[in-house]
């Protein structure tokens, strides 16, 4: 029986620890959700401050410049930097477009050169085939117009006659 009692105590301890872990997980989840709400609210406050500051800067720039000239100069410098960065982006895009156009043109030139080389090779082969056909035709014409010499023609050209 002591064994069963001990086993029951172990089971109870495991169950208790499991319940504690589940409760801690619920606490962590709830805490995380609340912290997320706090962060969202803080971000909203920051955004509102930014909006207020932008409106005040725009609507009362003379007053701000006279009271906070270093901050106004800092903002103007940053605005100038942003304008330059946007120009840099536009220049990069233009450079990329030009580089891509050059790549495409080089590709078209390579394709045209390859096609021209193929055409030249085809012309060369056609000319060679035509020359071979002309040579065969000439040889055939020559063979038909000059029949093989007969025995009489051979003898008469050598100066001998058949009766001697």
Q: Find the domain containing 76 and state its range.
A: 69-128
In this prediction, residue 128 carries a pLDDT of: 93
Q: Distance between CA atoms of 100 and 118, rounded to whole angstroms?
A: 27
pLDDT band at 148 (very low <50, low <70, confident <90, very high): low
Asked if residue 13 belongs to a domain, the reply is no
Asked if residue 146 belongs to a domain, the reply is no
What count of residues does the chain have? 164
Q: Which of 107, 103, 127, 125 is nearest to 115 (CA)?
A: 107
Q: What are the structure tokens assigned to 106, written together?
A: 């080089």
Asked if residue 143 belongs to a domain, the reply is no
Does position 163 have pLDDT exceeding 60, yes or no?
no
119, 93: one domain: yes
Asked if residue 54 belongs to a domain, the reply is yes
Asked if residue 9 belongs to a domain, the reply is no
Does position 161 have pLDDT exceeding 80, yes or no?
no
Digit-coded pLDDT (tens) for 36-65: 999 999 999 999 999 999 999 889 988 988
Query: Number of folded domains in the chain?
Result: 2
Is the distance from CB of 161 to CB of 151 less than 8 angstroms?
A: no
Say whether pTM exceeds 0.75.
no
44, 74: one domain: no
């Amino acid at each position: 029986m002591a064994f069963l009692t001990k086993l029951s105590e172990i089971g109870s301890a495991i169950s208790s620890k499991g319940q504690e872990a589940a409760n801690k997980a619920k606490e962590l989840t709830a805490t995380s959700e609340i912290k997320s709400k706090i962060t969202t609210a803080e971000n909203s406050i920051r955004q509102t401050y930014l909006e207020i500051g932008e409106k005040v800067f725009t609507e009362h720039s003379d007053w701000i410049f006279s009271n906070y000239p270093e901050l106004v100069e800092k903002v103007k410098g940053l605005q100038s930097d942003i304008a330059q960065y946007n120009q840099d982006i536009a220049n990069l895009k233009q450079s990329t477009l030009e580089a891509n156009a050059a790549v495409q043109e080089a590709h078209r030139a390579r394709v045209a050169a390859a096609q021209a080389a193929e055409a030249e090779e085809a012309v060369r082969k056609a000319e060679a085939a035509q020359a071979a056909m002309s040579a065969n035709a000439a040889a055939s014409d020559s063979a038909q117009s000059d029949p093989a010499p007969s025995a009489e023609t051979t003898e008469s050209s050598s100066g001998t006659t058949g009766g001697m």
